[in-house]
Structure 1
Amino acid sequence: MRRLIAQLARFGVVGAVGFVVDFTIFNLLRATVLSPDEVHSGPFWAKVVSTVVAIFVNWMGNRYWTFRDQRRAVATREGIEFVVVSLGGMLISLGCLGLSHYVFGLTSALADNISGNVIGLALGTAFRFWLYKVWVYHPERAGTAGATDGAASDAEGDRVSTSV
């Protein structure tokens, strides 16, 4: 249980950094080159760009901090799986933004931020954490970096050193 709480805390910190990156880039693009006054689908594309950048930031943080004991020795497959899950989270966020902006006609910057960066992010975060935990960084997956470092797991799943 301690490990899960610690992981959730680290995931939250990494997510907060990713949120700042996502929020900043989204609003910068929405206010400038992808303004809805200039490009009708500007908020949608601003969210795509900001989310892609945040996915990279989050992968680095989660790979090297949140799930460091469970990461794969080879990053390629893990990175692809991380991106697939993250894109699923992005679709959730984009769905919320799309419904609010294009279906319900709530087109202000505040409405776009609430739908895409609050509601969509909350739903997408729950989705991503669950799939990162059970699929991308699952501790029983073969080829994890932590599996070869001379450590074993105790009854709660916490890693313990087996060296003398």
Structure 2
Amino acid sequence: MKVYAKTIAVMVLTGSLAACGDTGGNTPVADAQATSAKDTSKNTVTPVETADLQPLAANAPAFASLYPGATLLQPPVTANGVDGPGGIAEFTTSATPEQVIEHYRALADTNGLDPVMAMNQGTARAFAALNAKGAEVQVVASPGEQDQTSVHLTWKSGH
């Protein structure tokens, strides 16, 4: 299953990076109040409690946070390049791939990122969003071992 998730992650990265332009700017940060985002595919509202988010790295945007109750497999890898700071994290959670993707879809929407890709491949799910300032998030979630969902998340804060 790990190869499956990593294959999707490469496809997500390739597709969304090709669609990105260098427009500069700062990433919007969510306020510390509960917010909600609309999932247009199901026409439902999913609440996101941003006050309890655990950033994956120092100064990481709200959409680059650890899924609630998840366990990091190793410390996130971070970098600060010409496109701004960003990173990669891998973690597991007892939530389903659908729940994980919906959580990050809501966080992206709350933080002003627009969806650019959503994909279902068997039981794996992927989602990517970005904004005009270069901020982006990409999430791949797939069933793993022992009823855990394996998640690969990449982010870029933008300029």
Please identify the structure whose Cα radius of gyration is greater: 1
More helix as a share of residues: 1
More strand as a share of residues: 2
TM over 0.5: no
Larger relative CO (CA 8 A, sep 6+): 1 or 2?
A: 2
